[in-house]
Structure 1
Amino acid sequence: MNTPPTARSGTAEPANVLIIGAGPSGAVTARHLAERGFSVVCLEQGDWVNPTEFPGDKPEWELLSMRRWHHDPNVRRRAADYPCEVSGSDIHPVMFSGVGGSSLLFGAQWMRLLPSDFRTRTLDGVGDDWPFTYEELTPYYDRVDAEVGLSGLEGDPAYPPGWTPPMPPHPIGKIGKRAARGMNKLGWHWWPGPNAIASQRHGNLAQCVRIGACETGCPQGAKGSFDLTHWPIALRAGARLITGARVRRIHTDHKGLATGAVYLDRDGNEHFQPAEVVVLAANGVGTPRLLLLSQSDQFPDGLANSSGLVGKRLMLHPNGEVTGIYDEDMDSRLGPAGHSIHSLEFYETDADRGFVRGAKWQVMPTGGPLRALSLHDDAPFEDRWGANVHQLMRTTLGHTFQWGVNAEDLPEETNTVTLDGELTDSDGIPAPKINYRISENTRRLMRFSLNRLHEAHEAAGALKTVETELWSDQPGHLLGTARMGEDPNTSVVDGYGRAHDVSNLFIVDGSVFPTAGAVNPTATIAAIALRTAEHLAKNARAQEVPLS
């Protein structure tokens, strides 16, 4: 049992459900439980962000994106951020603390896992099968698609029939048409990319005006970030959202039930929020960090960690890209970004390639002049200075697009989130330490895809291609560190996100993924959160709770 909060701590009225984290999964859970009449409190260490603060409609937006609005908390260093120790990692996890979480800065590529992703052990002999199937998750996918304002085109042959996005797709633009021409020449799959970006007005969302700066926040308010799509509804339904609240541990009673959480406000004052049920929605780094911080005599290896898997099997979706430079202006400054088109041609396992599983490709715009200039970093300095810069801009800005690769990585227990022994956040709480190395299988997979991406550009008529073999600080897909499964010896939570060791503790974020797939995961995270929220509500009368 944890040491109880001190008498000096502020203690609030108990909630039916306490949610930790106001990102996508926390927002979905809060909305749907509050709408069903539960008293819901959510603790979020960040704040609300007004869309007018985002840099995308400002002349200096690329400069602002390099520090104040950078996606890496180690670079951005906002008051709500916590640092990550990444010296032992090939990729630096990226995230954002605030109402809406990392959806404020995501590209809003809104794709479902494929049916095969739920059965990799059965089909390919790797990873683990999920405790439910694509078909079982489909009705939840359908509902969150409508809630976030998904824009897309039905009929993608890579998916089972029946997926009908609620809004029409965005135009694929000149870059999509040029890329598609190359794919058609090669006979490879492509499809207009589904995006959680409104192609017409939808609820609280404005219509997209194609600013193209989606990954530094949408000034128009057209992107389906969860501060716009879910939190206003949750608050109207009675949910309470406390911002600036940094949770330092979850408390348990003598029976091992969660009783609530201790958090610090911005002034360093300690508070205790009691609850009958605790839901973790702090992402695949923040959730294992908090479970490990909640170690006690009763849970000596961390809360809910009898399996020893809390913080293990971290999956980060390694990303690389090949940018093509073309002989025409294709308006590649314009959005959405998002993806214009995607390809699942090399998604499934083919043993002849020398690796298992696969990747999702996506065409994205390439932004402004600083990004355009960076494509010539290998040129002599004198060619990138003075009058020559203007010539480079004339032949590069707007003349490029990016084929990106989002690679599946397999769950490996050596890829971990632990607590660092020295680094702390601004409140002195131990920071997460990331140990993540890309496997040989994933390196082969990446190399194969990058080689094919050069071919795709060449088939589309590119004059030159420039490769980034690995983005060290992308894409912010934080998965697998508290995996779900039926066996308490080999998983942290069951198929509904309930911790095997703590019957009133649930996890709803990407940490529960048994395997990662290769598509952007937020649609699946949101669908799982909705499924868990409805299961919790349906079974509330039978739910064991701590004595008040």
Structure 2
Amino acid sequence: MAEQNLSADYVVVGSGIIGAMLARKLALTGASVLMLEAGDDAKRGDIVARFRNSPRRSDWMSPYPSPEWAPHPIYRPEDNGHLVQAGPYPYKAEYIRQLGGTSWHWAAHAWRNVPNDFHTKSLYGVGVDWPFDYDDLEPYYQEAEEIMGVCGSTETGSPRSKPFPMDPVAEPYAMQRVRERLAGVYPVVANTVARNSRTFDGRPPCCGNNSCQPVCPIDAQYHGGIAVAQAVAAGVKLVLRANVFNLEHDAKGRIQSVHYYDPEKNVHKVTAKTFIVAANGIESPRLLLLSKSDTFKNGVANARDMVGRHLMDHPSTSLTFDADEDVWLGRGPQSPSSINTMRDGAFRSEHSPYRLDFTNISRVDGATTSLLKEGVYGKEFADRLRHSAAREMNVKSVLEVLPVLENRITLADSKDVMGLPRPQAHYQIDAYTAAGHQRAKQDFARIAQLMGGTNLRPSKEGDYANNQHICGTLSMGTDPNVSVCDEFGRAWDHENLYFASTGLLPTSSTCNSTLNGIAVALRTGAHLIAANGGPAMLPRSNTLGKNAV
């Protein structure tokens, strides 16, 4: 039996970093905001304890068990089958359904796009143009950065109207040596990260735990759990264990309620003036596809069969090698530095752009596992472990994927324990991205040479690592025939239904999708506030004209 119905001005489905930051912004205006989260509560201490006690220290999902009533993908020690693979290339996304969402185990990369990322169709004849440009989004990039506490290099190709709220985190020794030895050939810069270099917002500065993924044990980096706490402090009401499975509309197509299961599969109903689906780029389209009716037979917001399409990420290939000096990866944050010279250029008409990212993850765990599998022990074990820990390095590409119609999320035939069809991924790596990988191999070889690299171990040809940057499945645009929503995330077919997710991003560019998703959502929030009599949207900056090709 359903409990007493809940109601609010805004109902936000999902408590990830994007939805929580938007919910906070709306609540600060005095509006009533209710946030529904399918998963359970999450406390940093519990997550850290599970990580430290896990026998799979390199498995970043091991501290995040899948709730039975709201499962998420688990692949080790075996695949739980939640995200069904339709091929032709596997898309094994790792996301978390719990309070705060997947950013609990992110690397805190908070990159902005470069201006030309918004105009790839016009400039390079590939992908699509965004429905607005860099200048429109720049104030909201800044707003997000000042809430989270972001720092990094200003030499990334992304112009700024204001400075970062803090200076960069201290450069690890290994990255200092990379920067010095590549100088004159490759400019190595500090990554843009939501990680404290000083005490900020009551949280401490980074102390170099080197476990940013799967969890920062001291909250030096921002994440969705902090965003939820800020939202609740602003007045947002939170309901946990609320697995939303249906959006109900009226005769005019307006959404009038959502229905959710609790863990005992009791059905509850929530009403609102405005609904915001803020789950990730897989669970959001899944919910829309589940919400079928006589009017919308293929699901809510899906009259033109665009929901779930244009699935994108950032596949990576890499090179591991041994430097000719001791660098000792593992001191400081895990992913501190990168090369940005191939993020943009005329070559984008021919092949994928990319960033080159250096890992600083300690090599001890991986080297130990490999040596034990070889049966190495005694003095040889100690000598080889020290060599790997001191000299092993890795550089990876972060490649753009184009919005391909056939890359998509659909509903599988199999069902989870709640009786809901599981999400199914259809995915492939196209020739554009593969050509970018071939170009990146030249950089891999040159970087290894400059570091005196030996024992070169490239990733297997044709294998692409997934970076968990899910985007594209709720693409925004100007044409309802090839997009799901408008520039403010409003569904074309439902005037009071909005989306806040990395799924809105119409192209993937070369940067982690989180900050883009947050900035787009904060812009949506400004639009909603202005539409309801609040202050006008932030004025656009004037940087694009100086930076466009």
TM-score normalised over the length of structure 1? 0.90
Q: 1:102-160 deviations in whole A, cap 9, x for unaligned?
A: 11001111110110110000110111110111111011001100111112233x16233
- For 2:177, the equivalent position in structure 1 comes to 178
1:77-476 alignment to 2 at 5 Å? Answer: 83-88=82-87, 89-154=89-154, 156=155, 158-162=157-161, 164-185=163-184, 187-228=185-226, 230-337=227-334, 339-351=335-347, 355-373=350-368, 381-382=374-375, 384-422=376-414, 424-469=415-460, 474-476=466-468
1:99 partner letter? L
Native 8 Å contact 1:190 1:345 kept in 2: no
Native 8 Å contact 1:309 1:492 kept in 2: yes
Aligned partners of 1:299 and 1:502: how far apart in 2? 11
Q: 1:460-508 deviations in whole A, cap 9, x for unaligned?
A: 2223332224776621111101111112122110000001100100011
Mean Cα displacement is larger for which, 201-210 or 27-36? 201-210
- For 1:545, the equivalent position in structure 2 comes to none
1:371 partner letter? G
Native 8 Å contact 1:46 1:243 kept in 2: yes
Native 8 Å contact 1:62 1:368 kept in 2: no
Aligned partners of 2:258 and 2:51: how far apart in 1? 40
| C-alpha spacing 1:357/1:76, structure 2 compared with 1 (3 Å) | closer
Aligned partners of 2:410 and 2:423: how far apart in 1? 6
Q: 1:175-225 deviations in whole A, cap 9, x for unaligned?
A: 21222134324x223211121111111114222111111111111111110
Give the Å deviation of 1:420: 0.0
- For 2:62, the equivalent position in structure 1 comes to 68
| C-alpha spacing 1:392/1:197, structure 2 compared with 1 (3 Å) | same
Q: 1:265-297 deviations in whole A, cap 9, x for unaligned?
A: 122221111111110111111111111000111
SS in 2 for 1:474: coil
Q: 1:494-540 deviations in whole A, cap 9, x for unaligned?
A: 00000110010001101111111011111111111101011111102
- For 2:538, the equivalent position in structure 1 comes to none
2:180 partner letter? R
Give the Å deviation of 1:43: 0.8
- For 1:22, the equivalent position in structure 2 comes to 15
Percent of aligned pairs sharing the same letter: 27
Mean Cα displacement is larger for which, 427-436 or 354-363? 354-363
1:482-521 alignment to 2 at 5 Å? Answer: 482-521=474-513
Aligned partners of 2:241 and 2:444: how far apart in 1? 43
Unpaired runs of 5+ in structure 1? 1-7, 543-548
- For 2:523, the equivalent position in structure 1 comes to 531
Aligned partners of 2:255 and 2:407: how far apart in 1? 28
- For 2:542, the equivalent position in structure 1 comes to none
Aligned partners of 2:470 and 2:245: how far apart in 1? 20
Give the Å deviation of 1:37: 0.8
Aligned partners of 1:371 and 1:261: how far apart in 2? 45
Mean Cα displacement is larger for which, 492-501 or 328-337? 328-337
Native 8 Å contact 1:343 1:360 kept in 2: yes
Aligned partners of 1:452 and 1:261: how far apart in 2? 50
Aligned partners of 2:49 and 2:459: how far apart in 1? 24
Aligned partners of 2:378 and 2:11: how far apart in 1? 58
Native 8 Å contact 2:315 2:465 kept in 1: no
Task: Name the Cα RMSD after superposition.
Answer: 2.5
Aligned partners of 2:160 and 2:244: how far apart in 1? 43
Give the Å deviation of 1:71: 10
2:206 partner letter? C
2:133 partner letter? T
Unpaired runs of 5+ in structure 2? 67-71, 535-549
Native 8 Å contact 1:25 1:509 kept in 2: yes
Aligned partners of 2:49 and 2:515: how far apart in 1? 24
| C-alpha spacing 1:102/1:118, structure 2 compared with 1 (3 Å) | same
Native 8 Å contact 1:419 1:431 kept in 2: yes
1:486 partner letter? T
Aligned partners of 1:462 and 1:373: how far apart in 2? 21
Give the Å deviation of 1:59: 5.6
Native 8 Å contact 2:86 2:427 kept in 1: no
Aligned partners of 1:260 and 1:325: how far apart in 2? 58
| C-alpha spacing 1:150/1:473, structure 2 compared with 1 (3 Å) | same
Give the Å deviation of 1:386: 4.8
1:191 partner letter? V
Native 8 Å contact 1:327 1:395 kept in 2: no
